[in-house]
Structure 1
Amino acid sequence: MTDLGRPALNLERVRKFVAVAEELHFGRAAERLHIAQPVLSRQIRALEQELKVQLFVRDRRRTELTAAGEQLLADARPLLAGADALRLRVGRAARGQHSFTVGFMPGLIVTAAVRALSERHPDLAVNVVRTSWDDQIEVVHDGRVDVSYIRLPVDQSGLTVRPLLSEPRVAVLPVEHRLAGKESIAIADLADEHLLQHPDAVPEWRDIATELRDGTRSPVGPFHAVEEKLENVATGRGISILPLSTATFYTRPDIAHVPVRDIPPCQVCLAWGAGRRSPLIREFAALAEL
């Protein structure tokens, strides 16, 4: 029971709800969960009774989320990830693994704060994990890291996010490109280029891009690492916009980077689970701000 006298939310039912909400089909969700469809239907009805709301609208042709279902789906993913992360941390503690793990994006140097925490707590194993644009928040939610250095924008639901610094963004170009070697450029200078990332990542380019206006944009990626993106830049398949620290970290002779003077800088923050109250997290956050 909760402190208000109400039963705690049944997380297993919530997990089954997420499967149905993602599939929008009870049969496929049941196959995914390896349970019988009638069992799944009973679990969803029990969850609706527990919450006193209708989560799905069903007919013979389709299954759709109600407004309440949409809200539960938005809240359920971080809730379930937090529960999984809790189990992971408790398991580590039970095995005597006293550790603290820091995630970091490529180009960001976290050595000073990691070293300072290690010196303050000699018996603590302070580990680091390299992340990417795809999983920089996922590693926080699923408990792989205690804190993570992230680059905005991200979905901040279920997170505490503390700003650390901002840095310029640069255009990364083949070394023989017509703009390579310039002191700086405007985003308009890149209107005719092929961008090797999602247009929403650079809305200033998206709004003026010739290939978007003409409908000639070809598929991009997916790129799972900066190195993959840089290989495509070097071979002349397009250009990319990166934070300055990332571009300088991956210096190579066949690529140049040029500051783009009229786009906002990249914001670097420290993030951790909103429900975490660990003194070590607060201590590390203070060290990261130094």
Structure 2
Amino acid sequence: MSRLESIDTTRLRWFVAVAEELHFARAARGLGISRQRLSGTVIELEEELGTKLFVPGAQPTQLSPDGQEVLSEARALIAAADAAEPRVESAATDRLRVGFVPGVTVTKWERIWADRFPDIALTLTPIPMKEQEQALREGAVDMCFVRLPIDREGMSAIPLYRELPVVVVPKDHPIALFEQVATKDLADERMQDASDLDDAAMTMELVAAVSGAAIVPHSIARLHHRKDLVYRTVTDVPETEIALAWPAAKTTELAEEFVGVVRGRSQRSSRSPSGQQPEKKKQPVAKKAVVKKAGVKKGGAKKPATPSRQGGAKNPGKRRGR
């Protein structure tokens, strides 16, 4: 019996991700979790197994001899678990695969979808920003929360919101005293290249190490928040824009339903497929029986209507003011 059989598969997958990447930040990004949570899970795993899985203090990250053995065992257990799962998953013929780039939080939409469509699986996959278009065009996901711009040819895209740019600096930096700054205020700073948002964790490391600065979207600074760094709004740098995109030729009913969820439409909205209920046929109205009264011929004089209490005729026998 393997010593890992009592450990849940999710924790094993997280360990394998770190062991294969040999980089905690990249592994956490690929798993869609925080670096702190991933590190904590590995520490708990080491305590449970009574051994070090990685060489302490090694830069770059290195597996220990015991870690190599655990990696081999973990891969075998994960493969066995995956082999047993497809039969269960194949029963769900309807599913929607949605990707999201770093900085996008999808928890709210995931919860609404689960409440509204409990029988339709929603798979959420973290996608590196540099692979966002490729993931859509090659069918790795059905839809994706992307950071604009993208090539719009053959794509449908709904802009959702804009993100303010912020500058990240060490906590004791003079800029930390201000609420917002302009680029001219950063003219003498050692600016780090932050164009690769997929490697933002390393950018933050550099800012902390050399007391530099970096400009990134607000969500990225928040995602990689550290106690030794602060971020302040930059007033004259263009905002970035987040959109939901998908191949136009694959605009399915599920895609339209997800658009409705993201845009905040109600479940009964007529703009969503599930809200477009067929009109009910009108039931024939029963005709009232006509009672003919004696002495009144068809087309004769009608009986005067009885006045109502509110707004009706006054009693002719009374005078006003008396």
Residue number in structure 1 paired with 2:134: 138
Letter in 2 for 1:256: V
TM-score, normalised via structure 2 length: 0.50
TM-score when normalising by structure 1: 0.55
Kindly provide the amino acid, as one letter, of the partner of residue 239 in structure 1: A
The alpha-carbon distance between structure 1 residues 223 and 244, as it changes in their structure 2 partners (threshold 3 A), is: closer
Pairs within 5 Å for 1:162-177: 162-177=158-173
The letter of the residue matching 2:150 is V
Deviation at 1:282, TM superposition (A): 1.1
1:276 aligns with 2:272: no
Structure 2 equivalent of residue 248 of structure 1:
222
CA contact (8 A) 2:102 2:198 kept: no
The alignment status of 1:263 with 2:259, answered yes or no, reads no
Residues 223 and 184 (structure 1), Cα distance of their counterparts in 2 relative to 1, 3 Å cut: closer
Higher relative contact order (CA 8 A, sep 6+): 1
Percent of aligned positions with the same letter in both sequences? 32
Judged with a 3 Å threshold, the aligned counterparts in structure 2 of structure 1 residues 176 and 140 are, in CA distance, closer, same or farther, namely same
What is the aligned-residue RMSD (CA, Å)? 2.5
Instruction: List structure 1 segments (4+ residues) > 4 angstroms apart after TM superposition.
Output: 94-97
Residue 117 of structure 1 and its aligned partner are, at CA, apart by 1.9
Matches within 5 A, 1:188-267: 188-197=184-193, 224-236=198-210, 238-267=212-241
AA partner of residue 185 (structure 2) = D
How far does residue 104 in structure 1 lie from its aligned partner after superposition? 1.4
Q: Distance in 1 between matches of 2:158 and 2:197?
A: 28
Contact 1:132 1:225 survives alignment (8 Å): no
In 1: Cα distance, 2:172 partner to 2:112 partner? 43
Compare CA radii of gyration and give the structure with the larger one.
2
Given that residues 170 and 211 in structure 2 are in contact (C-alpha distance below 8 angstroms), is that contact kept between their aligned partners in structure 1? Answer: no
Q: 1:108 aligns with which of 100, 104, 110?
A: 104
Looking at structure 2, the residues matched to 179 and 242 of structure 1 have their Cα atoms a distance apart, in angstroms, of 16
Number of aligned positions between the proteins: 176
Instruction: Pick closer, same or farther for the CA change 1:102–1:195 going to 2, 3 Å.
Output: farther
CA distance 1:232–1:157, change in 2 (3 Å): farther
Unaligned residue ranges in structure 2 (runs of 5+): 1-88, 265-322
Contact kept, 8 Å, 1:103 with 1:147, in 2: the verdict is yes
What is the DSSP-based 3-state SS (H/G/I as helix, E as strand, rest coil) of the residue aligned with 1:228?
helix
Q: Aligned match of 2:149 in 153, 159, 170?
A: 153
Say whether 1:288 aligns with 2:262. yes
Letter matched to residue 204 of structure 2: L
Measured in 1, the distance between the counterparts of 2:223 and 2:197 equals 18
Extract unaligned runs of 5+ from structure 1. Answer: 1-93, 202-221
Q: Distance in 1 between matches of 2:118 and 2:218?
A: 34
TM-aligned CA deviation for residue 288 of structure 1: 0.9
**Alpha-carbon distance in structure 1 between the residues aligned to 2:113 and 2:239:** 29
2:101 equivalent to 1:99: no
Shift of 1:225: 2.9
